[in-house]
A and B are shown apart, each in its own frame.
Chain A
Amino acid sequence: MRPVEIDVFSPLPEAWGLCSSCELLFQPANLNPAPFDAALEAYPPEFVAEYQRLSQTIRLLSERFGAQVVIRIWDPRSPQGLLRALRYRLRRYPSFVIAGKYKVAGLEPGQVQQMVQKALEAQLSPLEGER
């Protein structure tokens, strides 16, 4: 059975890795990582809290469904992420798109799990998915 694809859309925090080239240049210098980590901690507390809840939701999905799902995370500010966000007409973040057809806007772990379950069942009986 093919795994169900879960596309997760959310703005992602970037630290010094904002300039990937600069980050790579820094690596061989083996500097104290504290200032680099501090850059991530400086995001607004409510954003950090929501991001942590999102990470937890993704981890739970991964633990519950294992190899039955493939989870991809998109930042809607990247070209690929933006194109997909437009394609699925997403307005709120984070959002989840399951199997390319079931959409969950906002951080609703229970609803996401239900939709994944539905997509898995639809795969087992293709006709149901078309209903």
Chain B
Amino acid sequence: MNSVLILLIGVIAIIVGYGVYAKSIDRKVLNPDPNRATPAKMFMDGVDFTPANRNVLFGYQFKSIAALGPILGPIIAVQWGWLPAIAWIILGTFFIGWVQDYASIIMGVREEGQSFGALSYRLVSPRSRGILITFIYFYLWLIMGAFGVQVGFNLLTNPAVPLGVILVILFGVLAGQMTYKWKQDIILTSIVTVVLSFLGIWVGTLQPVQNFFAWLYGTAGGATSPTLFLAVTQAKFIGSLLVVIICYFGAVLPIWRWAQPINYVAFWIVTLGVLGGVLGLLIWRPGMGDFPAFTGFNVAGLGPLWPILFVTIACGAISGWHSLVSSSGTARQLEKETDAIYVGGGAMFLEMFFATLAFLTATVAFGSYQGYLDAGGGARAAAVFSNGLATFMSQWGLSKTFGVAYGSVFLTLMALTIMYLVVRFMRVASAEALGDRFPALKNVHVGTIVALVLTLVLIWLVPFLQIWVVFGAANQLMASLALLLITLWLISKGKNYLWALYPFIFMYVTTIGALLYKAYEAFILNLPKAAALAEKQKLTVGQVTIANVIIGAVSLILVVAALILAWDAYKAFQRYRAEAAAHA
């Protein structure tokens, strides 16, 4: 299969899915009215409720939904073969993804911009809001673990990468100083800091710099980095410490001093990287070589295709995360109801295209399945992406070494922007929940360090693929909740609800299946054989035990949350049906 053909199939899916199916639902079922006042107009406060041009809002929606999820998920999922992965990306978006994003916006608009928590409280039951918050806490912890492993273990351990990351961060800080303190022209600031960042990435790839980091990591002369404890090598230890140190500054320094200007410089690095990758792909137009269409139903380290594939690729096909963005954010800024399909549906189909590009970095960039595995496979998805992107960019002449470092800095910065703020959130949450009992947690530095230590526990103890699948399942549980709310809302309004009900049933059953499988795998399959697994994976028995207890327990907690939610929803469903019958 040629990469251009895959892109063509993606374009056809967008034309038919967005142009025909989505627009027909929009026209025939929800009938948006361009003259009806939206919450953005009704409650305009210039902060949350602000009418925005549909193109601006499209950008906001896309920026909010497209982070590392659509990049890493497809790269991990191709381990079942390229066909199941691309089929789920396209069909998931076609039948479910846009449904959730678009309907969440319309529901938010018609319910006066109420947040998801408030809607679940009203449409399902009061306790569903608590379930949502429980989910969020686990979700954040899993985000820190998943991103932390990829950045600390897989990206920063390449000796050509750390100095580039450090220099780009310093030039980001310089951008903040130039903007807010020295009041320099923004265009000049952008040119100076972005050019310096490119130079910084290049300097990081110079041989003396690489030699220094190789010495620091204990990998000089091609040696294997020595293991310090558990399965943590010297390189991984330094990489993960670098992550928490950067996150510490991001979480305690003023936003203008660190997170905001670094994010601004990163925006240019990411945008230019994507453009460079697409250009290289179009020049090269490679095929998939011997990359298998289907490798088998069970994949070691991940599990069975159903249900695990459907939680491994979340963003890029369907992601519960988007429903939060759509209902709480976009719905409050929509100028006209008729913009919802363009913003919600359109951004989802564009994200499908983005996921397809990530899928291609894994399937075509290395020329073979073995090449993909040699680049790191699913467990080192971030490294696969940076290598794949570098291969694409090398087609128009960019050096491969620089390209790999560039791709690694690109992903590291994307991950860190989210991680700073997640740490801030964990700090505020722990101060509120436990601050009265442990006053030290109210201290900014103590709260931050506690959050970072918890992150290190996950990074050092639990294998990435385990974290990723449970993280994906938590995300899809959110999607199930969103589709459930949409279905109940449609019923309560007397509208056709089957187009949301069937996706809800599929996502709910799949998510429960995935979580039960992970709990079964952790407690029944893995724990009794902890010693054998530890020997096979070169880990300690204690590490295997703790990792499986964490994964199994989180999975079970999420299953219980989902079952309570389903029971409450069933009662709400009956109530709305009875009300509808009474009105008929």
Contacts and interface: CB of A to CB of B under 8 A. Distances in A.
Given A20-B63, A20-B329, A21-B65, A28 B129 contact: yes
B147 to A, nearest CB: 12
B186 A11 contact: yes
Interface in A34-51: 35, 39, 42-44, 47
A11 B133 contact: no
Interface residues of A, number: 36
Interface of A: 11, 13-16, 18-32, 35, 39, 42-44, 47, 76-77, 79-80, 82, 85-86, 91-93
B49 to A, nearest CB: 13
A69 B329 CA distance: 27
Contact of B255 (A18, A76, A80, A92): A18
B417 interface: yes
Interface string B419-436: 001101101110010000
Nearest to A44: B180
A18 B421 contact: yes
Given A18-B260, A23-B329, A85-B186, 5 more contacts: A19-B263, A27-B115, A31-B425, A35-B424, A39-B255
Given A11-B179, A15-B255, A28 B115 contact: yes
B186 A76 contact: yes
Contacts of A92: 185
Given A14-B255, A24-B328, A31-B432, A19 B418 contact: yes
B321 interface: yes
B126 interface: no
Interface of B: 55-56, 59-60, 63-65, 67, 115-117, 129, 132-133, 136, 139-140, 179-181, 183, 185-187, 190, 254-257, 259-260, 263-264, 321, 324-325, 328-329, 417-418, 421-422, 424-425, 427-429, 432
27 contacts: A14-B260, A15-B255, A16-B421, A19-B418, A20-B60, A21-B64, A21-B324, A22-B422, A24-B324, A24-B325, A24-B329, A25-B136, A26-B425, A27-B115, A28-B115, A28-B328, A29-B136, A30-B117, A30-B133, A31-B428, A31-B429, A35-B428, A39-B254, A43-B180, A77-B264, A82-B186, A93-B185
Given A18-B255, A19-B421, A27 B185 contact: no
Specify which of A26, A30, A77 lies most central, judged by the most chain B CB atoms within 10 Å of its CB. A77
A32 B186 contact: no
Contacts of B181: 44
